[in-house]
Amino acid sequence: MKKNYLLIAFLLVATYSTCFAQKGLEIGLRVFPQATTLVNDDDFAAGDELNFKVPFKFGGGLTVGYNFTNSVGLYTGVLFSPQGTKYVNGGKTLEWEAKLNYIKIPFVVKANSNPNNGVCFLFNAGIEYGILSSATGDYSYWDGVTSSADKDIKDTFKSSALAAMMGFGAQFKFTDQILGHTMLRFDYAFGDIENPDTKTPANRTPTHPGAAGLQIGISYLLGSDN
């Protein structure tokens, strides 16, 4: 975990000397279609018994931040982030998908090159505190007749997770107050998200949710001062 924090700190320091942000309060709306997975060494080692499929999901939310110097800003907010993974067994008779829905509170540093340009470079890095709102396991069977079932698996997972987030892309200046952006977005949870009281087997390796996708957003600056 310390190595992850050091990596984030290094990236922020590396961009500090060349990046600038418009001063003032900033409110925003963003959406992020993303590919998600649950990283677990035991599952990966299962071979054909668990063939992975990558589900695509849509997240989004509202943010509020403040660009408090000409070189760095900070934002938080509330984000809805569906995550999970999908498996198909070797005989292709069973498909199972874990669907985890998190409410995330981000604490993210943002930096961009000269905001007076129409298009400029944008960089984000920070952490997200995720609260698990629901978790279901969807099962589909093929045995001559297709059947399916849903199961509540929320007790299988911990109620919260802490993840690192990083993104980079382009910011667009529409007016002095209205900005848009597109960026590649990545997040990965630090610790094991499975509940140790329900883990089977008890020595099962840690599970980490991860996601990669495209973030699209629009922001409005209040009291900006270039």
82 vs 62: CA distance, rounded Å: 15
Q: How many CB atoms lie within 10 A of CB 58?
A: 12
pLDDT beyond 90 at 51? no
pLDDT value, residue 156: 94
% of the chain beyond a pLDDT of 70:
83
Q: Supply the pTM of this predicted model.
A: 0.83
pLDDT value, residue 212: 97
- pLDDT tens-place string over residues 66-121: 988 766 899 999 999 999 999 887 666 778 899 999 999 999 999 988 777 789 99
pLDDT beyond 80 at 41? yes
- pLDDT tens-place string over residues 169-183: 999 989 988 999 999
pLDDT beyond 70 at 224? no
**Token output for 158:** 């911990």
- CA separation, residue 179 to residues 21, 27, 86, 123, 171 (Å): 12, 10, 36, 14, 7
The C-alpha angle with vertex 56 and arms to 55 and 61, in degrees rounded to 5, equals 130
For the segment 125-151, the average pLDDT, to the nearest whole number, is: 84
pLDDT value, residue 98: 92
CATH of 2-225, picked from 2.40.160.20, 2.60.40.1180, 2.60.120.200, 2.60.40.10, is 2.40.160.20
